[in-house]
Amino acid sequence: MPENTKSATKARLYDAFAASGKALASGKRLELLDLLAQGERTVDALAKAAGLNLTTASAHLQTLKQAGFVATRREGVRIHYRLDGDDVAQLFALLRKVADRHQAAVPAARDAYLGDDGGAELSREELRTRVEAGDVVVLDVRPVEEYQAGHIPGAISIPVDELAERLHELPEDTEIVVYCRGEYCVLAYDAVRLLTNRGRRAIRLNDGMLEWRLSELPVDASDLT
């Protein structure tokens, strides 16, 4: 192959790589991937959850689809989106971790967003050990549709915006382990702050459902507990 031809084909290859990077170069598109990592959703539901109007959400989703990150199915007039493979979820999770380690602005933005809940947390392995011992209650504070799409086996579903009114549903004498979407999800932080302010013993899983799935740990998609 002539050198100029080899150079041109190499350029096309790296431009193809770069197209994936360009599709990820939007905070809102990353937020949509975060939501889709929890399960399939309609365009309307994604727009509402991400705080976008329908037109803008659709445009972002089309960009992600053109890059091969999401796939669709039609049900009547509704279009449902999902991640097009676990490797997309892995890429999203890795991107966040790399940015946290190497992008100077991330730690301060992370801390400002998540806030402080006392810092108590435990790992997935520690949680599994304590669940087997029966000395904790596992609480999923994501929206109900995310819980129904897949949750940690045995977890109780109480969305964080309902927690204050449904506190009586949780035992008073058992420590509560809270989780939500992933390591950078504020819902678990908010829940732990609320629970501890009400005198309950509560700690966080140190990541969430995204990392649990990617670790190929058991996932339950049964009805509400």
**What residues are annotated to the active site?**
180
Two tokens at 187?
Answer: 């819902």
Q: Which residues contact 58 (CB under 8 A, 6 or more apart)?
A: 43, 47
* Residue 85 one-letter amino acid: G
Task: Measure the CA–CA gap between 219 and 7, rounded to whole angstroms.
Answer: 47
Q: Which residues contact 123 (CB under 8 A, 6 or more apart)?
A: 205, 206
Closest CA to 180 of 202, 201, 154, 211: 211
Where is 212: in which H helix or E strand? Answer: helix 209-214
- In degrees rounded to 5, what are phi and psi of residue 214? -65, -25
What 3-state DSSP class applies to 136?
strand
Q: What is the DSSP string of 110-122?
A: HHHHH--S-S-EE
